[in-house]
Chains A and B, each alone.
Chain A
Amino acid sequence: MSKVKTHKVIGARSTRLAIIFFIFILLLSMQFDPYNQYQLANISTLLIAVLSITLLTGASGQISLGQGAIMAVGGYSSALLVTKLGLSMWIAFVLAIFVSALFGLFLGLAAARLSGPYLAGTTLVMALAIPSVAIRFESLFGGDIGFTVDYGYPPNWLTNLIGEISIEEWSLYVALPFAALSLFAVLNLSNTRSGRTWRAVRDNEVAAALAGINIARTKVIAFVCASALAGLAGAIYGFRGLVGPSVYSTDLSLLLLTAAVIGGLRSIGGAIFGTFVIVFLPDVIERITKALALPETISNYLPALLIGFLLLLTVIFNPRGSAGALEHIRHARHSHKH
């Protein structure tokens, strides 16, 4: 009885948090100029991908340096469905989730045999092979350049309802609902039986196996769920304008991992924070370098340098990320009171 009750409470909590996130971003966008509204759309899209890492690495302990490659699977499949088969964008997004989940299944079957560094290296090779694949099957994938797709125009009922919608606003309205839904899904997932099983496997495989958990199957399921999320993110990300190897670069894969680590690999709030950091930090730095009139060679590489340092500092001093630090402070205060 009590078990059912907790589930209900958790479901309500994740619904509430997802709605709060949705409204918060929406309110924030109203304060912003078009450029920053566009950045908010990027945040919403990339958050889905960062959540996939929170799920895969944070919850199930498998590391992927090639989430960009899975995003590419989602991006290419949805773009092909729209341009070749004339499907609607929304249906294509949903189908992209299934295609990339299927891809994740195959990948997961291979990954379940690999641990830590082997998996890291293999997924990195996969990410680097994307341009190769795109060129090899040029007639289908459009080679080195890829092909253009976009969100199209907002439907009439929406413009009738809230008036004129700019392109930037429309890209946010496309991405945000998916981000909120993904947030809801991940929040729920980590509190279900699956989530607990993943954590058990992550922390001690032998103990988990002794408790009757099928290790290989658990790892594969985690991979499928994470790939579904990454594929969805990739589909939305591609429809900003271009689906091609340059969009789903290795740099993107590593940037997403950085976001997850900076925020805290095991925290969903951390994923949101980390995504804000990787999207807005370059803008902030650009403003500072312009104000200080720094030479171009420095301003070009300064964001990468700072993000690299941030990653190193997080890993050394606070491996649980900003979410961990916050919890630490809260604990300290709590014990102080008593």
Chain B
Amino acid sequence: MDSFLTAFFSGTSQGAIYALVSLGLVLVWRGAGVVNFAQMGQAMFTTYIASQLIQNDYSYWSAFVIALVSGAILGAIVDLGLMRPLTSRKNSQLLNSQSMRTTIPVIASLGILGVLKAVAGILWAGEERGFPSPIAANALTIGDTTLAITGFDLFVIGVVFVTLVLTTIFFTRTGMGLAMRASALNPEVTRLSGIRVGSVRTLSWAISGTASSLAGLLVTPKTNLSPNTLDLLLIVGFTAAVVGGLNSLAGSVLGGFIVGYVIAFVNVYSAPENVFLAILVFLLLALFIRPQGILGSKEVRRV
């Protein structure tokens, strides 16, 4: 029972972080038709910014906010500086090819990832460093019994919960959120009804940048920070997004928690070195059984 609770709580708090990563991936996929493999590179970079600020005696919370804002800016820069000029090259023979239209942005995002890692390595020497958490990671106790959950875990779950509520309100209650959903569904019609599809697209990159930046801030107290630490998080987030449905926002969150539990239970009941094997098997199973994801809708091929 004890190990079950350990797995359950760690699955919940880790799953919350995976949900953020997966949400970031799905936002950009829906908004721009790109799976952004540089996403956690961006998060790594903003987390380094926060770490640098904290070293320079800024408070944790001001560093936290600045990291989130720079996550949004970085996301917007990637879209405006790279992805938009890339996809607007209409006369390119290479981009006229159906399969290349999705492949080239993937390659571009890998280029960004490489550049961000190298720049972070040059600026911050590339050694592993710790990252502080605002709340001590001690196990909570009620009376004499020690719970299998730490204060920091609760903090993570709380922050992600608030983020998800805000995101839901944004997408269902605000005009901008509705415009984003509309242009994900049908960009042509959305453009005709007077919405600036380009700005909406950049906004989805910015929000995705913030979400992944938040994920970086929440995960590094446990994993330490180096140019490469967040790579694995991207893969887990990708698996979560595929499991939940690459074109469903709710699905991406659901997928995050599911993958969180899978990893936590493999970790507790099997061995940590099996985690990656489990992810691979899980991803392949998901792709074979339900390629569109749990909450995803079937892709319609445009002829």
Contacts and interface: CB of A to CB of B under 8 A. Distances in A.
Contact of B100 (A128, A202, A300): A202
A44 interface: no
Contacts of A254: 110, 114
Interface string A130-156: 011101100000000000000000000
Contacts of B158: none
A320 B287 contact: no
Interface string B240-274: 00100010000000000000000000000000011
A110 B273 contact: no
B280 to A, nearest CB: 4
A307 B114 contact: yes
A145 to B, nearest CB: 14
A128 B237 CA distance: 14
B80 interface: no
A113 B273 contact: no
Contacts of A126: 280
B197 to A, nearest CB: 21
B66 interface: no
A203 interface: yes
A297 B283 contact: no
A63 B274 contact: no
Interface in B67-104: 82, 85-86, 89, 92-100, 102-104
Interface residue range, chain A: 35 or more
A61 B97 contact: yes
B289 to A, nearest CB: 11
B180 to A, nearest CB: 20
A312 B111 contact: yes
B280 A308 contact: no
A125 B287 contact: no
Contacts of B112: 308, 312
B140 interface: no
Given A304-B121, A319-B95, A115 B102 contact: yes
Contacts of B100: 61, 202, 319
B131 interface: no
Nearest to A313: B111
A300 B108 contact: no
Interface stretch (A3-11, A116-124, A163-171): A116-124
A125 B238 CA distance: 9
A200 to B, nearest CB: 11
Contacts of B231: 128, 250
Contacts of A116: 35, 99, 102-103, 106
Contact of A120 (B37, B86, B89, B277): B37
Contacts of B277: 129, 132-133, 136
B287 A122 contact: yes
A124 B117 CA distance: 17
A308 B94 CA distance: 20
Contacts of A204: 97-98
A305 B98 contact: no
Given A120-B106, A305-B115, A312-B111, A132 B276 contact: yes
Nearest to B94: A319
B118 A304 contact: yes
Nearest to B116: A308
A90 interface: no
Contacts of A125: 235, 238-239, 276, 279-280, 283
B128 to A, nearest CB: 14
A120 B113 CA distance: 15
Contacts of A20: none
Contacts of A257: 107, 110
Given A110-B288, A315-B86, 16 more contacts: A65-B106, A118-B246, A120-B103, A125-B279, A133-B277, A136-B277, A201-B99, A202-B98, A203-B99, A204-B97, A297-B122, A308-B114, A308-B117, A311-B108, A311-B110, A319-B94
27 contacts: A57-B103, A61-B97, A115-B102, A117-B34, A120-B37, A122-B283, A128-B232, A129-B277, A202-B98, A202-B99, A206-B303, A250-B231, A297-B121, A297-B125, A297-B126, A300-B121, A302-B118, A304-B114, A304-B121, A309-B115, A316-B82, A316-B85, A316-B86, A316-B108, A319-B89, A319-B95, A319-B100
Interface of B: 29, 34-35, 37, 82, 85-86, 89, 92-100, 102-104, 106-108, 110-115, 117-119, 121-122, 125-126, 231-232, 235, 238-239, 242, 246, 273-277, 279-280, 283-284, 287-288, 291, 301, 303
